[in-house]
Amino acid sequence: MGRLGLALIWLLHWLPLSWQDLAGRALGRLLWCVNRERRHATLINLRLCLPQLDESARRRLARRHFGRFAATALERGLLWWSSPERLRRLIRIEGLERLQALEGKPLILLAPHFVGLDMGWSRLCLELEMVTMYARVKNPAFDVAIHRGRTRFGRQTLLSRQDGLRRVVAEIKAGRPFYYLPDLDYGRRDAVFAPFFGVPAATITGLSRLARLTGASVVPVLTRRDGVGYRVIVGEPWNDYPGEDPVADAARMNAYIEAQIRIGDGAEYLWSHKRFKTRPPGEKGVY
């Protein structure tokens, strides 16, 4: 199934992006029907985070999310096999000058889990030599394809969690931007409970710890779908970060992500992740 899936993605990458988007939406409808666990998690997340929406509105948003998630999965063929010239046309960067102004200095790129984050990584790889964390996937064929795809441009480094914090710190101090995705529920280890849409969420303190250890600037980088492709939006470096309180630092990160989700229709955030799986002591599970 892995090789067949790769063959399909390879074929699709020759098509215009609008056609790939249609194929992704069709796949999203199928996933909505068959993946009960992720459908359940998505609806619970939306109920907790967006209680002002009625049930029908939440289900429409959930369906749109499945479509956007599936589309970006199929569109990865663009990142793995398309030319740099085509990627530059389809994926635009806004605010690249902010990264260029910090070239050679310790830098952490905060990349929240919007579904287009791989688009952002690949486009930035055409401009920068970066570092990120990589979690192996179960299917060997896809694992190889993803790894090759993420390292095909420039001198990019993918680190595993087994490499440890020391290697990450060394790379950041050497002036290589760290593309960091710290906004999932990774369990209780190195985590605090900080509000996310008003709900306590286990949030790792890695962003503030790394910034403190390395003296790095934190720059948010968000990738959004627009009518003609994708936009990689490079924000302003955060001032007065990190602070003295790790909980406040985690809350600041969550508040930033929450604000970005509220821009647009919100379907591009990774609602299918069990963001509230880890609960405070004594609190029942929500899934």
Share of the chain above pLDDT 90, in %: 90
Q: What is the model's pLDDT at position 52?
A: 96
Q: What is the mean pLDDT of residues 10-30?
A: 95
pTM exceeding the 0.85 threshold for the entire prediction: yes
Q: Which residues neighbour 263 within 8 Å (Cβ) at sequence distance 6 or greater? A: none
On the question of a cis peptide bond just before residue 177, with omega within 30 degrees of 0, the verdict is: no
From CA 127, how far away is CA 192, in angstroms rounded? 35
Segments in the chain forming alpha helices (H): 2-12, 17-34, 36-49, 55-74, 76-81, 84-90, 96-100, 117-125, 140-150, 164-173, 206-214, 246-261
Place of tokens 């569109």: 75
In 3D space, the residue among 53, 9, 41, 62 whose CA is nearest the CA of residue 274 turns out to be: 41
- Cα–chain-centroid distance for residue 135? 13
The secondary structure of residue 50, as a DSSP letter, is: -
pLDDT digits (tens, 9 = 90+) for 213-264: 999 999 999 999 998 899 999 999 999 999 999 999 999 999 999 999 999 8
Q: What is the mean pLDDT of residues 2-18?
A: 91
Q: What is the mean pLDDT of residues 116-121?
A: 96
Has residue 163 got a pLDDT over 80?
no
Has residue 120 got a pLDDT over 60?
yes
Residue 12 CB coordination number (10 Å): 17
